[in-house]
Amino acid sequence: MALNADRVGTVYPAFVYEVSREKIREYATAVGESDPRYFADDDEMVAPPTFAACFSIGNALRTVLDDPQLGAHPRLVHGSQSFTYGDRPMRPGDVLRCEPSIVSITPRGDNEFLVIALEATFVSDETLAARAESTIVFLGSANGSDAG
């Protein structure tokens, strides 16, 4: 069954994500980083840019997929991703306010393209930490296709 296009424009309740030292280390290790600043014990520590995956895909995407009115199904792949960053990198102890929303749902052939935006701001000064836009491709569920 096709996704519910009426959900386009939905802004989900913001959640709080706290950047932690161990999570930065874990993420940096998983992508094979070697910059010592991603592993530091002190104020030198910063997060790699794509650490934003942890809250944009890890948390925000799950929030959207769990929306019972969206009608998401598990036959999906990631189509594209973009991140725009603010003036400084994320650091351990940063608290982010993260607000996911649905930008668009577009059928293309048998598939549907769901575009999700996530705005993450530093709670301390309300400046941008990262803006994420994720395109998720739902396979075979467009109206008129056989599958889904």
Residues 81-120 that bind another protein (CB under 8 A): 81-85, 88-89
Nearer to another protein, 47 or 102 (CB): 47
Alpha helix positions (H), the chain:
21-30, 53, 62-65
- Minimum distance from CB of 33 to another protein (Å)? 6
Rounded CA gap, 74 and 65, in Å? Answer: 9
DSSP type of residue 25:
H
Nearer to another protein, 6 or 90 (CB): 90
Nearer to another protein, 27 or 122 (CB): 27
Residues 6+ apart with CB under 8 A from 115: 102, 103, 104, 105, 106, 133, 134, 135, 136
- Minimum distance from CB of 86 to another protein (Å)? 9
Q: How many residues bind another protein (CB under 8 A)?
A: 37
Is the separation of the CB atoms in 93 and 19 below 8 Å? Answer: yes
- Minimum distance from CB of 13 to another protein (Å)? 18
What tokens appear for 77 in the block?
């792949």
DSSP type of residue 147:
-
Residue 127 in contact with another protein, rule: CB under 8 A: no
- Minimum distance from CB of 56 to another protein (Å)? 9
Residue 44 in contact with another protein, rule: CB under 8 A: no
What tokens appear for 111 in the block?
């598939």
By CB under 8 A, name the binding residues for another protein.
23, 26-27, 29-33, 35, 37, 46-50, 53-54, 57-59, 61-62, 74-85, 88-89, 139
